[in-house]
Structure 1
Amino acid sequence: MGLARLAELHGVAPSYAPSPGVAVPVPQSTVVAVLAALGVDASTPQALAQALAAAESSHPLLPPTVVLWHEPEPAEPPLDELPLKDPPLLELPRPLKELPPGTRVEVAAETGERLEWTAPAARWNRLPLGVHRLRADAPDGRSASVALVVAPARAPQPPARVHGLLVQLYSLLSARSWGMGDLADLAELAAWAGRGLGAGFVQINPLHAAVPGAPADPSPYRPSSRRFPDPVHLRVENVPEYAYAGPRERARLDALRDKGGELREAVLDKGALIDRDAVWALKREALEIVCRAPLGPGRRAAYCDFLAEQGQALEDHATWCALAEVHGSEWHSWPAALRDPRSAETAQARRELMDRVDFHCRLAWLADEQLAAASRAAHEARMAVGVVHDLAVGVHPGGADAWAQRDAFAEGMSIGAPPDAFNARGQDWGLPPWRPDVLAASGYAPYRGLIRSLLRHAGALRIDHVMGLFRLWWVPQGAPPTDGAYVRYDAEAMLAVLVLEACRADAVVVGEDLGTVEPGVREALTRRGVLGTSVLWFERDWSGDGRPLAPEQWREGCVATATTHDLPSTAARLTGEHVELRHRLGLLTRPLDLERTQETADVAEWLGLLGARGLLPEGMEDEEGRIRAVYRFLLRTPARMVGVWLPDAVGDRRPQNLPGTWDQYPNWRLPVADAAGRPLTLEELAASPRLHGLLEVFRTPPQSGRGPRTAPPDARLG
């Protein structure tokens, strides 16, 4: 009982529920290990008793971070209400309600303004939005200095029903890219999709910096840093200094560009996989040459502004990159003194490697510039939302973020998922979790910096595994995933920071809430304006007869899609080809005939609903017609955003990622291809009759957004 009580006091669940009404206890060894990762010693009966006594006797005046929610101010108040009143405050949180009378309160706002008063008087509704410092001194001698997050009640919403494209950027090669899709391709895609297809957004995979090495992990969901983009996505020719190379440098750059073209042709014409390592080897050499060109005064000033704005975070990231070139990309194996980003030895190494540190800072700046260009292209194409960026759930344990913020990550832990009906062995994703206590004590500074960085050039942000804002499954190092435990985070504070930064950036927030979702999570996200993710094949009446949900029964606050990067394409689903693929790879857990029968029945049930709704005028045997019917159905739902998986538009059969495989399947390395498996360039996609036939489903009058759409509906990429 003592260990369970101590665990609960520190947000560690001593049991979990794999299904309703079933409680599975967490092994005591796991609870002890998780508590140790949180800085709590429960390894002996005496240590447990001391830790429990300390936790139960602790009565701080305020928690480390306090949240205030404000209703948004009316944009145009009635004349009789001028001057504008203070924004109405939502429910005052209990810690502030319970401040003893006579408590002196002082708030140092982000803006530099200071407000002071004595409880029970309250001036909370006069505080500006932001993350402030709150000091309280109570008459009983207790005091507290904590972070105060003042956030709007809800994140921004799409201006109207919008549709857009979903694509893994690396898979989208143009006639100018060097073997994989890049940021110039993203800008081209956004400009064409907005003007030519009336699309309101383009959603892409995470562009986070990868861990260097050969071979590098191709997954965009296991990055070195989530805060800074990977320079492999740069279009080298679009860097302004590229034009100023001297004759010798120009000859080498031309040769590298030609080799990049050979990589592109190998993928498009010879069936080769996307080779990220080969692409980066070429681009890195080219960028080394380009970055030797001196910056003009204006460019130098812009670069210095970027360095000042990014501050310590960028310096740490670039330092890690420079040290990794010398000592390897796994910082746990570096000399002991260099494992500490704040040590004197690390500072000395940074000075000695200053040229390399500057090079990696420059790459981050160049990527930021090209991200900004892609965002501008989307807005100039009158996209209502723009580019939707993706935030991975975690980082590589040996990467830059885990090194630079090592105190904020739980040592010896990784996140994953507990056993459930789909995976009896649980999952270990190999990603270290943030410590909730350290986040709270810092006012969520690492998290705030991450969200703000990702929203710099985003019209929306997708949060992978958004349930992680509430709790995460921690697995001790060396233990199987079944022996993990849920650790709770302050979801109110995590959401407040997210909503605050989204409102500052005027960006929509989308949560990937597929799979096992704790009761109350979707309701909390909806209350704060965070859209969910609804995939057609999963939308059934699970509490009733299990039949497909009628479109009017879908939720409004979501992005409605037919598939995702982890699921079969719609063509593969409708034809059952994904079952055959999983059978060939030995991934089926039931006999093939049973899988085929079940899949055929599921698809037939959905097609029956589509036919009954009059959404299949082409007939049941027309593959393109059936795919169009799926998207016609999505348009019948009230979903605020409808996403078209770009490979669906050309009949691609292959998933981009097949969970449960590593080297058995080319995850994250496939280009977008047609129904026959022939890779297609962006230019070919733009001219595809099949694509335009599918997007004809979405032809509607222009939707409200950042401006009227004036391009003709049949505009092509020129």
Structure 2
Amino acid sequence: MTPTGPDGPPPAASEPAPRTPLARLAELHGVAPGYSPSPGRTVAAPDSALVAVLAALGVDASTPDDVGAALALHETATAERLLPPTLVSWGGLAPAALAALPAGTRLRVTTEQGESLTAADRLPPGVHTLHATAPDGRAAETHLVVAPTRLPAPPGRTHGLLVQLYSLLSRRSWGMGDLGDLAELTAWAGRTLGAGFVQVNPLHAAVPGDPTDPSPYRPSSRRFPDPVHLRVEDVPEYPYAEDRDRLAALLERAGRLRDGVLRKGALIDRDAVWDLKREALEAVCAVPLGPGRQAAYDDFLAEEGQALEDHATWCALAEVHGSDWRDWPAALRDPRSRATAGARGELADRVAFHSRLAWLTEAQLARAQRSARDAGMNVGLVHDLAVGVHPDGADAWAQQEYFAAGMSVGAPPDAFNARGQDWGLPPWRPDRLAACGYAPYRRLLRALLRNAGALRIDHVMGLFRLWWIPEGQPPTEGTYVRYDAEAMLAVLVLEASRAGALVIGEDLGTVEPGVREALQERGLLGTSVLWFERDWDGDGLPLPPDAWRADCLATATTHDLPSTAARFTGEHVELRDRLGLLTGSLADERAAAATDVREWLALLARLGLLRGPSGGAPASAEEAEIQAVHRFLLRTPARMIGVWLPDTVGDRRPQNLPGTSDEYPNWRLPIADAEGAPVTLEDLAASPRLHALIDVVREDGGPPGAPGGPPEPPPRVP
């Protein structure tokens, strides 16, 4: 979820010091009394926002007397508490907080495996239970997250593709890209293009609607993938389904749907695709599983447990009562109620169906990752974790105790968006996460990393703080709420290390001081996009390649930004003008965009990067410029280089245009060539333009320090 505006300088001033009892109470609970929208300027949060956010955290601050009582209660609780609910140990060393315990306090650790150790022992990685007993009789149990000090660096310089899976149709797709297409893409990209990874959009389960919200960043559940991505014919039971005529008719209809997108200019229609797939999968899931498949399915059910049962129950109830659980009969709004248990029994067939779909989708995700590794990719799939979930969906229903009621996540007003942003996503409560040892966060990460070589964290700054907006208020009436970033990072590093995966943080936009340093210290990579990399503290000109950071995924663009071809031609300005999105005059916007391009082209020319492909015919001017951009990325010390797949064929259209909903077909466009004609996976594999660009990436970008490659980045201190 990329904020609008470039990655400008971070605020120079810190949050203002609290001056009132309400502000002091807010800060004690991690609620910021103010923020810095621009360097040297601070803005106090409205009292109404502080009161509302505190209420969402279970703290009554309605009146001055309530504020005083809450302050006194917090002071008493802090004085009596031996330990916070969660502590972090990096590398198995004792947490610093233990040094503040009263002399003579007895400490014992019960590990995840049930082993009993002392706090002085070298602790294994995991989330353990620390027992403390003070001489005065006070006792405490706290969650102890033991994580490696950092994640390892990527295995040398690697390049890969970035793609929105739904946009990648093959001649076998049912109207949108699917997991069969993803497996084909990874096999081809690894073997033919030498790619080390393929990064995809979030594949989380969506909230069904009329129509369904196509954004992959407002999911029903982040824990479970969406079965709309299934390749139906690849399900092992498919050949044994009884009604062959029915399946043949569905395949024919799917072909017409696919042809409508590829040949007639229709938009991707997720709901139409799902209508066909759901009917086909109902027939396929009626086939009994063989003994081996049944045993594997039983293992999956046991492993996923309550979380899967809740998710499948929500899906079944949504078919009957609609997708907004807050409009269901009151007794069904509680996932643990007797009425919900009864409904689960009445809908047992549908609950079983949705559970089976989750298993089948996981299996095809695993197959795509195996395909990537079998093709020689050193990373494989890079999955994307959305910053939150839809308030109507399965996670918000099943995990109500962990979400802040009446709150939404967004972004504050800044120099690029005076109204701020409301993303419509309920935030997790930091106090409840800490109290349970971050259990839902751990389970979420474990599920996503199961079939991934790396995980991209959307808006990674949310591990540190999020902008909370009280329901019914504009984004300007919100405030920041802090999370225990050390604990959030420790859990992330722990789960990623267990999976042997990399982590990439999307840290675009305004980033508060210290965040990038904290991420780098723990081995997380950042995200650097060419057009945002300028000397914001100096002359504002494009950064030369040797000034870029090494610990990042470097790209020319993202799904939220114009394609590289559109940048060089200025078509992104014309598009925004047609949609009425320009904040200034068309002439001024054109001039600013032209200046931006001119400055980058000057740097590319000065570095000798503007030239035709080696050993081939000269490219067009546009292709030469796009190739030069990627030569530039390879001159940086960045450890990962990402190529936006639509850039390989000159696509003009962004996949998502922030600030629009009905005005632009966000998340519904197939990959297209420079003329706007949709391009299939098979077309991509045969595209001379694609191969010319990838040849540049392969020939010019050896590993750091190698001849012709980027300079070796400085050594990293463990």
The alpha carbon displacement at 1:94 in A equals: 3.0
1:370 aligned to which of 341, 349, 364:
364
The alpha carbon displacement at 1:349 in A equals: 1.0
Matched, 1:404 2:398: yes
Cα separation, 2, equivalents of 1:336 and 1:692: 58
1:144 aligned to which of 133, 140, 146:
140
1:186 aligned to which of 182, 207, 214:
182
Map of 1:216 onto structure 2: 212
Cα separation, 1, equivalents of 2:699 and 2:667: 34
The alpha carbon displacement at 1:369 in A equals: 0.3
Post-superposition Cα deviations, 1:157-185, rounded to whole Å, max 9, x if no partner, equal 21010000000000000010100000010
Map of 1:44 onto structure 2: 63
1:68 aligned to which of 89, 92, 99:
89
Aligned partners of 1:198 and 1:702 also within 8 Å? no
Matched, 1:104 2:125: no
Q: Return 349-358 or 619-628, whichever deviates more.
A: 619-628
Cα separation, 1, equivalents of 2:98 and 2:193: 51
Map of 2:308 onto structure 1: 314
Matched, 1:422 2:386: no
Matched, 1:345 2:339: yes
Map of 1:697 onto structure 2: 696
Cα separation, 2, equivalents of 1:213 and 1:426: 27
Cα separation, 1, equivalents of 2:259 and 2:77: 65
Q: 1:620 to 1:25 in 2, by over 3 A?
A: farther
Amino acid at match of 2:83: L
1:573 aligned to which of 567, 577, 582:
567
Amino acid at match of 1:8: E
The alpha carbon displacement at 1:245 in A equals: 1.5
Q: Return 358-367 or 49-58, whichever deviates more.
A: 49-58
Map of 2:656 onto structure 1: 657
Cα separation, 2, equivalents of 1:483 and 1:444: 29
Map of 1:123 onto structure 2: 120
Map of 2:4 onto structure 1: none
Aligned partners of 2:204 and 2:219 also within 8 Å? yes
SS in 1 for 2:654: coil
The alpha carbon displacement at 1:100 in A equals: 1.7
Map of 2:10 onto structure 1: none
Cα separation, 2, equivalents of 1:497 and 1:474: 23
Cα separation, 2, equivalents of 1:319 and 1:101: 51
Amino acid at match of 2:662: D
Aligned partners of 1:559 and 1:639 also within 8 Å? yes
Matched, 1:265 2:265: no
Query: Percent of counterpart pairs with the same letter?
Result: 74
SS in 2 for 1:258: helix
TM-score by length of structure 2 reads 0.93
Aligned partners of 1:208 and 1:229 also within 8 Å? yes
Post-superposition Cα deviations, 1:461-514, rounded to whole Å, max 9, x if no partner, equal 000000000000000001110010000000000000000000000000000000
Map of 2:519 onto structure 1: 525
The alpha carbon displacement at 1:684 in A equals: 0.4
- Note the residue ranges of structure 1 that are not aligned, 5 or more in a row: 71-86, 117-121, 705-718
- Note the residue ranges of structure 2 that are not aligned, 5 or more in a row: 1-19, 613-617, 704-718
Post-superposition Cα deviations, 1:64-99, rounded to whole Å, max 9, x if no partner, equal 1000000xxxxxxxxxxxxxxxx7x3xx43321212
Cα separation, 1, equivalents of 2:541 and 2:675: 33
Q: Aligned runs of 1:351-362 on 2, under 5 Å?
A: 351-362=345-356
Cα separation, 1, equivalents of 2:353 and 2:66: 49
Amino acid at match of 1:333: D
Amino acid at match of 1:63: P
Aligned partners of 2:631 and 2:700 also within 8 Å? no
Q: Aligned runs of 1:198-209 on 2, under 5 Å?
A: 198-209=194-205
Map of 1:157 onto structure 2: 153
SS in 1 for 2:237: helix
Aligned partners of 2:634 and 2:700 also within 8 Å? no
SS in 2 for 1:699: helix
Post-superposition Cα deviations, 1:137-170, rounded to whole Å, max 9, x if no partner, equal 1112221111000000112321010000000000
* Number of aligned residues: 678
Matched, 1:467 2:461: yes
Amino acid at match of 1:544: G
Map of 2:605 onto structure 1: 611
Aligned partners of 2:37 and 2:43 also within 8 Å? yes
Amino acid at match of 2:569: T
Q: Aligned runs of 1:543-562 on 2, under 5 Å?
A: 543-562=537-556
SS in 2 for 1:390: strand
Aligned partners of 1:162 and 1:642 also within 8 Å? yes
TM-score by length of structure 1 reads 0.93
Matched, 1:113 2:115: yes
Q: Aligned runs of 1:387-398 on 2, under 5 Å?
A: 387-398=381-392
Q: 1:184 to 1:9 in 2, by over 3 A?
A: same
Cα separation, 1, equivalents of 2:26 and 2:188: 54
SS in 2 for 1:218: coil
Amino acid at match of 1:132: H
Amino acid at match of 1:11: G
Matched, 1:225 2:224: no
- The ranges of structure 1 where at least 4 consecutive aligned residues each deviate by more than 4 angstroms after the TM superposition are 700-704
1:174 aligned to which of 162, 167, 170:
170
Map of 2:713 onto structure 1: none
Cα separation, 2, equivalents of 1:509 and 1:42: 39
Aligned partners of 2:635 and 2:701 also within 8 Å? no
SS in 2 for 1:68: strand
Map of 2:42 onto structure 1: 23
Map of 2:624 onto structure 1: 625
Map of 2:673 onto structure 1: 674
